[in-house]
Amino acid sequence: MPNIAGTGRKRARRTGALVLLAVTAGTALTPATALAQAEELRVRDVDRSAFPEVTAVVGVPRDLSSSFLPASAFSIRQGDEVLTPEVTRLRDDRLAVALVVDPATSIDGLSFLAAKQAMSELVVGLPSGAAIAIIGAGPEPGIVTPGTEDRSLVLASLEALQQRSRPSSMADALDLIPEALPTEEGERREAVVLATSPAGAGSDLDPDSVADRLEASDTAVHAVLLNVGGAGRLGAVADATGGTTTAAGALNQLPAAFLAVGEQLEGQYRLRFRAPEAGPVDLAVSGPGASAATTIQVGPELTAGTPEETGQTAPTDVEATPAPASEDTTSSEGNGGGGVGLLVVILFVLAVIIWAGVFLLRRRGRAGAEHSDPAATAVASVETPMPEAAPAPDEAPTEVLEEPAPEPVGEEPAPEPVAAEPAPEPVLDEPAPEPLAVVEVPAEPDAEPTDGQRRADEARAQADLAHQRRTTLEAAQREADQVRADASAAADELRRQAEQ
């Protein structure tokens, strides 16, 4: 329902109007005041959530409700600046009306029949396609007829209502409106309440609490007061929910009172405009034979909340006036505590991850050291025979040169060294087996096994390292999941505290 107090809540369901007829015995008669509010433009809802874009739903005076007003009939000003609105008349067939009836015996049977007849005339006069529900506000409130477009069923249910001697519970009856009359997007929920006792007229109501619940269900209250000296608590609820209050001084004025309410339900318009700045905005409408005006407040601060709600003056409020600021202080402390707790958890997880990284590096270093020793041994074993084999080729050619030397002595000693050039080739072939033999010497049995062992050790070390890494990552993932779960729980708690 509309929030005139400035929450800027956007409504997505059918708005409802609650028409309340209060018939209280023993009260002095007063003149009819059905037109008392005609000079003030009724504000049904104000949506400031997209400021500077503002949307307001207003109800025009009853003399203009049956006419289709053009955009030029509406005037919007902020200071000296004239604003151009986008004007849309709300569809009358998207209306939903809840009739809440107090069947107390504070009035006689004939008066009760007359009151039901006046409500029946209201039902007949509602636009085609409007949904109607009936709620009995007796000692044990209940839904008599759920929302329906069947006028015959609604009229029969009204006629069958009987009076009850015990006091009614009007607050509980109003709480049944959303259940009795569910709405869809684009529909407006309205309610008509027939009260025939002081309890039914709201003597036991907490206006603020009831208005908050009605606003939460997107329902407006229209109070029709019979034999009541003032608007009282029901009037306060009607004002807070964007409804109207109509007074009748006698029973025979009820039909005119309900007619006025019916006209108010039909004459509603949506005004969309852009406000240059935060502050008061004047709304006005004029037409043949009637005009009305009012002022609303717009601005982002109305959506953000009061300074106490935003936490700007929370410490001062706690010291100066602890009781009023207790809720805001709790909310602020809850937010701070949740943030510190989340920061501690994040730091702890970071510490765990750093420790795991250091641990893995140390393990990798130890594994590298273990594998580097066998490799060095293998390199030493392979390189050790090379120095020993190096002199062997030098000696072998010397012997070969000495052996062929006698052969060329008888012929040409000088050319023999030339023939010795191919000799080094076999000499190179012969020393090759000798190093192999040296490698196979029992003194160095680790040369060939060391290669295979090194590969196996490296593979084993890599497998161990991969296992450790996987284990660490899984542990870190579990910690991260826990952190996310704790953060989500903390956010839900903060959100719950903020909503409270």
Residues 58 and 46: their CA atoms lie apart, in Å, by 9
User: pLDDT, tens digit, for every residue of 48-74?
Assistant: 999 999 999 998 887 888 889 999 999
Residues 218 and 47: their CA atoms lie apart, in Å, by 13
Residue 367: predicted pLDDT: 52
Supply the mean pLDDT for the chain: 70
Burial 141-165 (b: 16+ CB within 10 A, else e): bebbbebeeeeeebbebbeebebbe
Could you tell me which residue, 105 or 323, shows the higher pLDDT?
A: 105
User: pLDDT, tens digit, for every residue of 182-198?
Assistant: 887 767 788 777 766 56
Residue 237: predicted pLDDT: 82
Residue 228: predicted pLDDT: 61
Residue 341: predicted pLDDT: 61
Average pLDDT over residues 334-358: 63
**At residue 29, does pLDDT exceed 70?**
no
Residue 123: predicted pLDDT: 93
**At residue 328, does pLDDT exceed 50?**
no
The CATH number of 15-305 is: 3.40.50.410
The single-letter code of the amino acid at 113 is L
Residue ranges of domains in the chain:
15-305, 306-384+444-500
Residue 114: predicted pLDDT: 86
Residue 388: predicted pLDDT: 45
Residues 276 and 122: their CA atoms lie apart, in Å, by 42
Q: What is the pTM of this model?
A: 0.51
Locate 242 and state its tokens. 């964007």
**At residue 411, does pLDDT exceed 60?**
no
Phi-psi region of 299 (alpha: psi -120 to 50; beta: other; left: phi over 0): left
Please list the residues that pair with 81 across neighbouring strands: 78
**At residue 132, does pLDDT exceed 90?**
yes
Average pLDDT over residues 263-272: 87
User: pLDDT, tens digit, for every residue of 199-208?
Assistant: 555 667 788 9
Residues 261 and 256: their CA atoms lie apart, in Å, by 9
Q: What pairing do the DSSP bridges indicate for beta strands 53-59 and 74-78?
A: unpaired
The confidence band for 147, taking pLDDT boundaries of 50, 70 and 90, is very high
